[in-house]
A and B are shown apart, each in its own frame.
Chain A
Amino acid sequence: MIIIMITGLLLMLIGFWGMMTRKNMIRIVLGLAIAEVGLQLVMISAGYVKEGTAPIFSDGAVEGSVFVDPVPQALVLTAIVIGVAVNALILGLVIKMYRHRRSLDVNDYMESE
């Protein structure tokens, strides 16, 4: 699971790198999305319990078996939903900006001093 956590952190770095270097605004948003995915991986791996099973309570649950921690999984679900909503909204903003100026280059929307 440590590998997944490292992968997640790496994905976050990649995402941030994208946000800082790409000029195309859609790519910037994608950078944010990649970072979010990385974050979600980290979150899941944080709740992992070694050799645990899915935290589903059912009649078939074996006495004495270990679950992974269900709380981070619940959090991840919420985070994913919120992330999607935010990304959709940001992309909506990008579309609105594009309609106004016909440009996706972030430098074209410079705020003057």
Chain B
Amino acid sequence: MISPIYIIVIALGTAFLLPLLEKNRTGLAGTLFFAALLAMTFIAGQYLFVFMGSAAEATQVYTAGFKPPFSINLRMGREEAALISAIDILALAGAVYLFRHMSRSGVRSMMLYLVLVMSFSGIIMTRDIFNLFVFMELAGIASYALVASGTDHRSVPAAFKYALAGGIASIFMLLGIIFLYRATGTLNIDGAVIHILNVSALASPVVFLLVFAFMIEMKQFPANSWALDVYETAHPGISALLSAGGSLAVLYAVFKILPIAGTRWYTVTAVAGMTTFFAANVAGIMQKRTTRLLGYSSVAQMGLLLAVTGFGLKGILGDHFYIAAGGLALSHLLAKAGLFWLAGSVEEDSIEGWKVLAGKPVQLLLMGIFLLALAGFPPFPGFYAKWSVITALASARMYPWMIALLAGSLFEVVYLFRWFGISVRGRSSLEETGRRPSPDRSVPTMFFGVLLAAAGYFFTSRFIPGSSAFIIPLAGAAVVLLMSRLDSRITGVIAIAAVVYYGTRVIPGLSGMQFFFAAFFIAGSTVVMLGTLYRKRASAGFYPVMMLLVTSLTGIALAGTMLQFFFYWEIMTVTSYFLVLRGRDAQRPALKYMIFSAAGAYLIMAGFAIAIASASTAPGAGTGIMPHTGSIPGLADGIFGFDAGVSEISILVLILLSAGFLIKLAVMGVHIWAPGSYAEAEDDVSALLSGILSKAGIAGFVILLARMSGGGAQGSYVLTTIGWIGTATALLGAFYAAIEEDAKKLLAWSSIGQVGYIILGLSAMSHLGWVAALYHSVNHFMFKGLLFLAVAGVVYRTGTRKMYEMGGLIKKMPLSFVSVMIGIIALSGVPPLTGFGGKWLLYNALVERGWYLQAGIGFFSSTVAFLYCFRLIHAIFLGQPKPAFRRVVEAPKPIIAAQYILIIAIMAVSTFPGILVKRLSSFVEPYFASTLRWEGATVHSSVGYWNGTAIMMVVGAIFAIFTVFLLLKGPRPRKVKQFNMVFAAERPETPETTHYAYRFFTPYERAFAPLLRPVVRDFWNAVAEWASSAAAVLSHFFSGDAQTCVIQIMIFGILLYFVSGGGVL
């Protein structure tokens, strides 16, 4: 194998050779430049290859033929090989990206570039601290010059700032080095680690100086405003190399020298890192310029990595240190470089300018991959890294750290996905002006996108058992994506066929709750997808995303471990976000959806982490941090390996997980994401969101609460609280629906309210309650899917969602009218349709449980529901048709077909409720002994009985009798034209409709005004306001001239001195 020292030799040799070729031989110079980079990559790569294959010893290179401490030694081990290979690949791809820019200034940039890459390798390999200093200075000089060579004139002041910061850092570093030498008599890092333990007199100032210097180099808050300017103003290619590659090299240097500092400094480092992570992410939400935003994200990621390094050295992360640090580093390197390159190709400074990306699927796809990886979503490595960090922190009971990490991540989600939303949805008038990026720019970016996907595949196949099953739908989605140029109906049929096939593969082997939820998700999605077949316009990516969503929902139902569950939960979040974002004006609602979903997901993550921690400390429980090491029973057998309702820890877990699921269910207080998302999503997607997606939260709840059935947690105040939250949600959801003018928002509010009943049923923690909840879940899907699809058809034809603009559509859209009619009867809970059964079960359960007040309020809410149900029929279908909609015809066939499938289902379940209820009862039986008794078609509970079939027959008979009576004896109305007012008392001058539908329930609204005050919305607005103010203050802090930066660095030094306890070891 070629000695690693040749990495340095080749780079320096080529750098010195290049000026000789400057005249007229730039072609040769370019070839040489790339050859040198390739050779360096090859040398590092061969070591990586060897170390991947076996646990070989690290190679040591001794210069000048002496052993240390008399010579400088370089080490090439597993970590070094991996890091250098990664950085060299980045440098190579970056060189392709930058070549056009660099060749403009002759060979000088190429020389600097080579020196920069070489010094990164040197920083990583050297074991001599003075040599480390030299390489850092070399890297510094090369990067100051490269930054200043940018086309942006602001890059020179940025380089100046950078150089001053670097100068100060190197002064402190040298001072530390010389004292270290004086204290230990060696410059060798490993030697110093041994010696420093025996020395105390000089040790503390030495350590302080070294750590301080490296913290500046690591861009720790508040000594990091220089880095932001550099990333913002340098050429994006240079920023990519510095941010993605250079930072990691310096991080590795910190990792090497921190053991000199000793254990106490690990915590200090972690504090500094986590503070930086949090502060930079908060400040990030105010950023308007993409490269600066990426700068904040870089700084934040470095802070996180530094904190992880501190944790790792402290031993908190155990074996997972490499997963955590490696996963974060890999995600950061690939995603950040890719995003900087993308920023360079888009050539739009401001976030708003990224509208030009709208309608460019390849670039959007790349951007999506990079952003997801950066924010730590699955399947990318950062997800597993964050999971292992969080679980480790939970095991160590470091809860404040978890909060900081998750809160910081949430802010990161805010600014990354706002940017993405604008890029996807921004409709710029100059849609076509965005140029296609030239291949030298797009190829490296795509290459990194592919690498990231490969890394995600690698990690996922390692950590998610059975994820290979996920590959099938993924491949299917890719195939469908490739065919998206075909008519969307063809791809739609293929997608539906694929989902059905997936269902037939998965469902038959299941039983109990797993069967219930998997069948529910797959069958429900199939019906909704049928309804989407009316789209004519090719909709790139719709069906692939849909397929992934269905698979992830099934994955949630089938998850056997918490990691698996969370993996699919996050995939579900992401895919549904993409679906919401497809709506025309969905940019802001989709962002809200993403923020709340992410917040909920982080709560769930924290809950899982603490659950795992408590399970692994409990005697006899053998669950590791990465659950693939221990078997955790799945949904079928109960639940994940912890017992809720026993200790304070499990109450905490219960609260965290419940909060996470409740956010997904959009209960009162955290509901504000829902109306907008449901309303602005594409019309058929709304049916999916409301009917099916919200049940994912129910599935989560069932999985969680199933664990508690045995424990004495029945009387837990947490459950009572959840029950009350459900009650309030049912009531307020109904109220808001009643005063809504927008048909889809009305249904959205109604969904929120209906989910409230389901939560109420679940929280009753009894057989009846759970059967009621599951029954209502199915029922809600059927009638709400029906209503959303019917409204989708109406909106599709009329082009408006405002109900008062419609009216009189009964003649134009009779089939849709019937759908809505059936839907609202099923919703309102009057016999004979399905709604009645749900209400009957629920009230029985509540009475049984002694929750009379809740039952009363629930009953009242059902009455309020009549109000909005009436509006759906009255405002849309009754009254006089508006002239504008004279030419409206019945909704497209596929959408009607989907509705009638649902109607058949509703009718079947209404007539023979026993089929469904008996099954649900058997699903619930493992957790709660059945309290239902069957006598034929009659079901007896402890408080009453119900025979759905008989009711259906009685009502049917009455209906038939009246119909026949009216047909035979009824008055024969005479049909007249719409504006024929002959039979009216007056005759208006001009034809006008007298259909009154606007602000229909204003009197009720006035009566209940105090109850309907938008307290919650005001609260969240205040939160947003507060966050922006904090971000503004912070980002003000991050800006300023070079002198401010110097002062900040000095302040940071003083802070560090005091935080570390005066530098005392």
Which residues of A line the B interface, CB within 8 A? 12, 16, 19-20, 23, 25, 28, 32, 35-36, 39, 42-43, 46-47, 71-72, 75, 78-79, 82, 85-86, 89-90, 93-94, 96-97, 100, 106-113
Candidates A39, A47, A110; contact of B174 at CB < 8 Å: A39
- Docked-complex contact B1039 and A71, CB < 8 angstroms: no
Q: Top 8 A-B pairs ranked by shortest CB distance?
A: A109-B157, A113-B1039, A110-B1041, A43-B178, A90-B163, A93-B160, A32-B167, A82-B137
Sample of 7 more A-B contacts, CB < 8 Å, known A46-B179, A75-B181: A19-B168, A47-B178, A86-B140, A86-B166, A96-B148, A109-B1042, A111-B161
Q: Is the CB of B174 within 8 A of A71?
A: no
Stretch at the interface among B420-428, B801-809, B850-858, B1043-1051: B1043-1051
Q: How far is the CA of A89 from the CA of B174 in the complex (A)?
A: 20
Known contacts A86-B137, A93-B148; A110 and B181 CB within 8 A of each other: no
Q: Per-residue CB proximity of B260-289 to A under 8 Å, as 1/0?
A: 000000000000000000000000001000
Give per-residue flags for B1007-1046: 1 if the beta carbon is below 8 A from chain A beta carbons, else 0.
Answer: 0000000000000000000000000100110111111001
Report the minimal beta-carbon distance from A72 to chain B, rounded to whole angstroms. Answer: 6
Q: Which residues of B contact A28 (CB under 8 A)?
A: 164, 1042-1043, 1046
B176-190 Cβ-contact flags toward A at 8 Å (1 or 0) = 011101100001000
**Option from B154, B167, B171, B1035 in Cβ contact (under 8 Å) with A90:** B167
A85 to B145, CA, bound (A): 12
Nearest-CB distance from A38 to chain B (Å)? 9
Closest CB-CB distance, A104 to chain B, in whole Å?
11
Query: Any chain A CB within 8 A of the CB of B153?
Result: yes
- Whether B157 lies near A36 (C-beta < 8 A) is no
Chain A residues whose C-beta falls within 8 Å of the C-beta of B1043 in the assembled complex: 19-20, 23, 28, 106-107
Q: Min CB distance, B1046 to chain A, in Å?
A: 5
Contact with A along B224-240 (1 / 0, CB 8 A): 01001100100000000
A107's nearest neighbour on chain B, judged by CB, is B1041
With a cutoff of 8 Å between Cβ atoms, the chain B residues found around residue A39 in the complex are: 171, 174-175
Q: How far is the CA of A79 from the CA of B176 in the complex (A)?
A: 13
Q: Is B159 an interface residue (CB 8 A)?
A: yes
Contact B1050 A100 (CB under 8 A): no
- Cross-chain pairs A/B with CB under 8 angstroms, 11 sampled: A23-B1043, A25-B1042, A32-B167, A39-B174, A46-B179, A46-B182, A75-B177, A75-B178, A93-B144, A100-B156, A111-B1039
Q: Establish whether residues A112 and B1039, one from each chain, have CB atoms under 8 Å apart when the complex forms.
A: yes
By beta carbon, the residue of chain A nearest B228 is: A111
Most buried by A among B141, B157, B225, B1042: B157
Q: Does B885 contact A (CB under 8 A)?
A: no
Interface residues of B, Cβ cutoff 8 Å to A: 130, 134, 137, 140-141, 144-145, 148, 153-154, 156-161, 163-164, 166-168, 170-171, 174-175, 177-179, 181-182, 187, 225, 228-229, 232, 286, 1032, 1035-1036, 1038-1043, 1046-1047, 1050
User: Which residues does chain A contribute within 8 Å of B187, judged by CB atoms?
Assistant: 71
On chain A, the residues within 8 Å of B286 by CB distance are 113
Most buried by B among A42, A89, A94, A106: A106
Contact A89 B164 (CB under 8 A): no
Question: Which residues does chain A contribute within 8 Å of B182, judged by CB atoms?
Answer: 46-47
Distance, CA A65 to CA B697, complexed state (A): 82
Q: Point out the residues of chain A lying under 8 angstroms from B177, CB to CB.
A: 75
Given A85, A86, A90, A111, which contacts B229 in the complex, CB threshold below 8 Å? Answer: A111
In the assembled complex, which residues on chain A have CB atoms less than 8 Å from the CB atom of B181?
46, 71-72, 75
Contact B160 A90, beta carbon cutoff 8 Å? yes
- Enumerate chain A residues within 8 angstroms of B134, measured Cβ to Cβ: 78, 82
| A111 contact from B140, B168, B175, B1041, Cβ within 8 A | B1041
Residue of A nearest to B1043 (CB): A106
Chain A nearest Cβ from B549, distance in angstroms: 39
Kindly list chain B residues whose C-beta atoms are within 8 Å of the C-beta of A108: 1041
B157 touches A19 (CB 8 A): no
In contact, B164 and A90 (Cβ under 8 angstroms): yes
Residues of B within 8 A of A43 (CB): 174-175, 178
Q: Which of B157, B228, B1050 contacts A97 (CB 8 A)?
A: B157
**Residues of A with C-beta under 8 A to B144:** 86, 89-90, 93
Pairwise interchain contact A86-B163, C-beta atoms closer than 8 A: yes
Contact B179 A25, beta carbon cutoff 8 Å: no
Nearest residue (CB) in A for B1038 is A113
Evaluate contact between B175 and A42: CB separation under 8 angstroms: yes
Complex: A28 Cα to B159 Cα, angstroms: 14
Q: CB within 8 A of A93: which of B154, B159, B175?
A: B159
- Given the known interface contacts A32-B164, A42-B178, A43-B178, the answer about A113 and B1035 at a Cβ–Cβ threshold of 8 Å is yes
Q: Which residues of B contact A85 (CB under 8 A)?
A: 141
Residue of B nearest to A71 (CB): B181
Closest to B179 in A: A46
Does the CB pair B1046–A111 fall under 8 Å? no
Bound complex: CA A78 to CA B1039 (Å):
34
Q: A89 touching B158 by the CB < 8 A rule? A: no
Q: How far is the CB of A15 from chain B (nearest CB, A)?
A: 8
Q: Chain B nearest CB: distance from A51 CB in Å?
A: 18
| A42: B residues at CB distance < 8 A | 175, 178
| CB-based contact A25/B178 at 8 Å | no
The answer to whether B167 and A89 have CB atoms under 8 Å apart is no
Residues of A within 8 A of B1046 (CB): 16, 19-20, 28
Tell me the minimal C-beta distance from B1032 to chain A in angstroms: 8
**Which residue of B has the minimal Cβ distance to A44?**
B178
Q: How far is the CA of A104 from the CA of B153 in the complex (A)?
A: 16
A97 to B233 CA separation, bound complex (whole angstroms): 14
- Residues in B with CB closer than 8 Å to A86 are 137, 140-141, 144, 163, 166-167, 170
Task: Give the CA-CA distance A36 to B1035 in the complex, in Å.
Answer: 31
Check A109 against B175 for contact (C-beta < 8 Å): no
- A16 CB contacts on chain B under 8 angstroms: 168, 1046, 1050
The docked-state distance in angstroms from the alpha carbon of A48 to that of B166 is 28
CA distance A89 to B149 in the complex (A): 12
State the CA gap A5–B141 with chains docked (Å). 28
* B-chain residues with CB within 8 Å of residue A19 when the two chains form the complex: 164, 168, 1043, 1046
Residue of A nearest to B232 (CB): A111
| Whole-angstrom CA separation of A16 from B134 in the bound complex | 22
Complex Cα–Cα for A106 and B179 (A): 34
Q: Which residue of B lies closest to A22 (CB)?
A: B1043
Contact B154 A111 (CB under 8 A): yes
Given A12-B171, A113-B1036, CB of A46 within 8 Å of CB of B178: yes
